[in-house]
Chain A
Amino acid sequence: MAQKKITIQDMIFKLEEFWSSKGCMVMPSYDVEKGAGTMSPYTFLRAVGPEPWAACYVEPSRRPADGRYGDNPNRLFQHHQFQVVIKPAPDQIQQYYLDSLKVLGINPLEHDIRFVEDNWENPSMGCAGVGWEVWLDGMEVSQFTYFQTVGELDVKPTMSEITYGVERLASYIQDVNSVFDLEWGNGVLYRDIFKEAEYENSKYAFEESNQDDLLKFFDVYERTAKELIKLNLVQPAYDYILKCSHTFNLLDARGAVSVTERAGYLARIRNMAHEVAVCFVEEREKRGFPLLKSAEDKKAGLEND
């Protein structure tokens, strides 16, 4: 165990500071519901196209089916991910990651850290990557991926994605058996912030949600997203795709989606994800891929010095 227990917010500060020193922008959480940090436009959209990108951010991630009314010590309707994406993936990205653990007080010599094969896939967003789960003394604390396709487009150059499970890692660092016993910061416990919300969200997702309404929402969001894609309005279109995805997750948690229908819904979301990814690259290209240009200017500037 680490000598001195650090709080969740200290953990986040340290990670932000560390990754900022590696060239990442510290972005705010994105304000539309989503199931994982990957679905933030700061990852999904920035993964496609030739432009470089380096960012880190905390992402609240909603998984309605994982809700347990706040009764289960490790399962949550909403957990938090700390997401780091860098494109092109740096040569030393694995070493950076291990250094980031040291910053959190986890000395690799005092633990067993393993990179265990786990090729990540998100079929609903047309994403696939190659990488690992990172095990810390047998516990999966991070997901480490080299993106190969996003929105069904090849990711070139390759983007590396590191996702820390904030609660998992904090449980380890603070040595607690229940996430609700974690200290978020300044003496305030996780339970005092989130336990009530866990109960309420679970109650809603499993008992009170209105299937007919959700189905209608899905259709409306889908229609809106498609119309916006036609108008090349990438950001709002993407927001509505995220809403479709979350609505689908709510339907799924309710058991309202049969195995066969499931494939149908996933395909509908995937098609839109593909279209919006293509649209994003086209719009960036019209603007001359600004980040590519500024990176080249910076490099040229350095060479001139």
Chain B
Amino acid sequence: MTKDYLFEIGTEEMPAHVVAKSVKQLADRTQKFLKENGLKFKDIKTFSTPRRLTILVEDLAEKQEDIDEIKKGPAKKIALDQDKNWTKAAQGFVRGQNMTTDDIYFEELKGTEYAYVHVQKEGKKATDILLGMSDIIKAMTFPTKMRWGGSNDFEFVRPIHWLVSLLGNEVVPVQILDITAGRKTEGHRFLGDSVVLANADDYEDALRDQFVIADAKKRKEMIVDQMNELVKQNNWKIKMDANLLEEVTNLVEYPTVFAGSFDKKYLEMPQEVLITSMKDNQRYFEVYNQDNQLINHFISVRNGNKDYLENVISGNEKVLVARLDDAQFFYDEDRKYPLSHFVDKLKNVSFHDKIGSMSEKMERVRIIGDYLAKQWNLDEQTIKDFDRASELYKFDLVTQMVGEFAELQGVMGMHYAKLAGEKDDVAVAIKEHYMPTTSEGELPQTVVGSLLSVADKLDTIITFFAVDMIPTSSNDPYALRRYAYGIVRILINQKWSLAFNKVLPELVSALNGKTPAKLPKSDEKEAEIASFIRDRINQYLTKNNYKYDIIDAVLASSQQDPIQILAAANVLQLHHDDEQFRPVVESLIRINNILKKAKHKGNNVVNPDLFVNESEKELYSGVNNLQDLTDLTQLYDGFVKLQPVINFYFENNMILDKDEAIKNNRLNQLGAVAQLAEHLGDLSKLVIK
């Protein structure tokens, strides 16, 4: 026999972002618990609102299966000693079955007598096992836990007020603190009443009658449907922000969508200001017309029905207008001053107390950017725009608007710069230097913005390493990893080559004296920074589904330029499954092995005068043809052509010739091939089928 089991934890309002994760956690833990206890079930359904985490276990067995088995033990002559006493073997056998030697009987099997026991155990009842659900509550984890009035040392995400625990129609009185689970659940805080459930299966319908849509998916659908309806009626457009929709779904138990509006005059402010006020502060959806222009309306969701909706609308409108008024005040104030007014203030804004001020940072970033621009042969105009941007780009941090709406940093800088008559490229770079703002976030689109972003991030990494604030595996409070990853992504996006091992010493010496922080002096520190950034290439390749052995191979080379490493990975990935791939790689690995065994440390300069046969000449000219190739695809193709030549060479030559001069010449010849192959990575890391 099976029954459905309902378990609900009723709480005060949980944070929206923990609801979905927590009910999944509850289901996962319950599933594990039931499996460990040998209670079979079909499936676990979840329900969740801000005030409840609920699971419905479908077709749960009412008890564990009974055990009725014959267990065979040791042979009789081993179970009994000469004096007919039970041996340790016999005692061990019964102990393992939770029985005593009294239970043993003997039976013959193929001419030998063996000890047996008949194990019979009735399965435990589900109602007994389920009392252990209280341990699941105790084991649950949350980003923030709390104590409350009567909880003593027990902590949960918010105070627990009730528990429902019903197996079919029977209460399983799970206990936590002074709360004993029963059959009573609570309806909507304002619109509903308590309900006594006769049966576990009544849950969803009974709550719907009390204005609670317990199924989060259905609640979300209700919101989307109502929203679409409203948008259609008014001929509007909205951008369905999935995160906001998810959050709003978990802020309400019974959703009613409504629209409000505000004075058009606020639309003169930058869109981002309005959107931040609506979305981040109020959890409203912003509204667009058919031409995708932001208009003076918003959409929000009430936790309740349509009654008195006009109060809710006018209240929300009033709140938004107060916010927009504030923003307008800051916008007007900030525009009273020239940009230089704010730039001056940056001298007194600390970037980090061990490193120096924002002004000093901006000076360093200009040096870095100018240096990089030269490396990449960027045109004069780009450099001019970059220089201008570097003089300004942190200024908005001291504007009133960013003081109030921190999330608008960069964006306000861009708008204010444009209003002050700065060039578009300069203004946009101010916004873009923060990008990407998340590890897989959008990259800067412009060249100037990309340059500023790389220079800014590089400065941060170099100076933080210099004062020994280096991320550990578990702790990276200044998000230096994300910055390094951003650098890698931008370099790849712009196809900018940068061999960090070469560049860093030059940069560091250029920066000396520009920060109170002691910049890295030792090569060791610079190497550490280079490898820190290089580690992010691994992340990039993994994220982009390169084969793990290819990633190992390309990262094991001495190459430090992300562009070259990526190119090598691309070539290997492209040809990995080719027919020739294996023989080519094998022949190159064979060369490496020989060199390693011979401890070859030659200069790889080959003397053709020492050649004794045709195969040597052929390899020599083959390698010469590849020498100047910078394109790794061509290099790989070259190796494909060279592979029979290499084989021919091995067939015809003893590498370790008795004549020392010939031997060294041959090693140098192989060394030259290996040196070329290293451009593709350490090929011995490849797994070849």
Contacts and interface: CB of A to CB of B under 8 A. Distances in A.
Interface of A: 1, 72-75, 88-91, 93-94, 98, 108-117, 119, 130, 132, 136-139, 146, 148, 155-158, 160, 172, 177, 258-260
Contact of B312 (A73, A89, A111): A111
20 contacts: A73-B322, A74-B325, A88-B149, A109-B191, A109-B307, A109-B308, A111-B311, A114-B303, A115-B50, A116-B13, A117-B14, A130-B158, A137-B311, A137-B314, A138-B320, A155-B147, A172-B315, A177-B318, A177-B322, A258-B349
Given A1-B311, A117-B16, A156-B147, A112 B326 contact: no
Nearest to B321: A177
B12 A117 contact: no
A119 B15 CA distance: 10
Nearest to A115: B13
B664 interface: no
A112 to B, nearest CB: 4
Contact of B146 (A75, A130, A157): A130
B302 interface: yes
Interface in B521-535: none
A117 B146 contact: no
B316 A137 contact: yes
A171 to B, nearest CB: 8
A112 B353 contact: no
Contacts of A160: 149
A259 B315 contact: no
A1 B329 CA distance: 28
Contacts, number: 113
B668 interface: no
Contacts of B189: 98, 108
A114 B350 CA distance: 39
Nearest to B316: A138
Interface string B12-38: 111111000000000000000000000
A130 B191 contact: no
Nearest to A111: B311
A109 B190 contact: yes
Given A112-B303, A114-B251, A138-B300, A158 B147 contact: yes
Nearest to A117: B15
Interface of B: 12-17, 50, 144, 146-152, 158-159, 161, 189-191, 251-252, 282, 300, 302-304, 307-308, 311-312, 314-316, 318-322, 325-326, 329, 348-350, 353
B479 to A, nearest CB: 18
A156 B146 CA distance: 11
Which of B147, B161, B308, B311 has the most A CB atoms < 10 Å from its CB? B147
A142 to B, nearest CB: 13
Contact of B13 (A74, A111, A132, A259): A132
Contacts of B146: 130, 146, 148, 158
CB-based closest 4 A-B pairs: A137-B315, A89-B149, A117-B15, A115-B13
Nearest to B352: A260
Given A89-B148, A130-B144, A258-B349, A72 B329 contact: yes
B318 A259 contact: no
Nearest to B322: A74
B263 to A, nearest CB: 12
A113 B253 CA distance: 12
B326 A258 contact: no
A170 to B, nearest CB: 13
B644 to A, nearest CB: 67
B324 to A, nearest CB: 12
B559 to A, nearest CB: 40
A73 B315 contact: no
Contacts of A89: 148-149
B303 A157 contact: no
A225 to B, nearest CB: 26
B251 A158 contact: no
Given A72-B329, A91-B149, A139 B318 contact: yes
B356 to A, nearest CB: 11
Contacts of B252: 114
B289 to A, nearest CB: 24
A116 B19 CA distance: 13
A237 to B, nearest CB: 28
A112 B312 contact: yes
Nearest to A106: B311
A157 B177 CA distance: 15
A105 to B, nearest CB: 12
Contact of B149 (A112, A119, A132, A157): A157
B149 A158 contact: yes
Contacts of A258: 348-350
Nearest to B317: A138
Nearest to A93: B149
Contacts of A75: 326
B144 A139 contact: no
Nearest to A256: B348
A14 B368 CA distance: 65
Contacts of B302: 112
Contacts of A110: 307-308, 311
A258 B161 CA distance: 46
B148 to A, nearest CB: 5
A138 B326 contact: no
A139 B148 contact: no
A290 B214 CA distance: 47
Contacts of B159: 91, 146
A90 B300 CA distance: 33
Nearest to A1: B311
Contacts of B282: 138
B341 to A, nearest CB: 13
Given A132-B13, A258-B348, A111 B308 contact: yes
Contacts of B14: 117
Contacts of A1: 311
A108 B144 CA distance: 29
A108 B188 CA distance: 12
Contacts of A260: 350, 353
A177 B149 CA distance: 38
Contacts of B17: 117
A258 B325 CA distance: 28
A172 B319 CA distance: 10
A98 B13 CA distance: 14
A129 B320 CA distance: 27
A55 B320 CA distance: 34
Contacts of B326: 72, 74-75
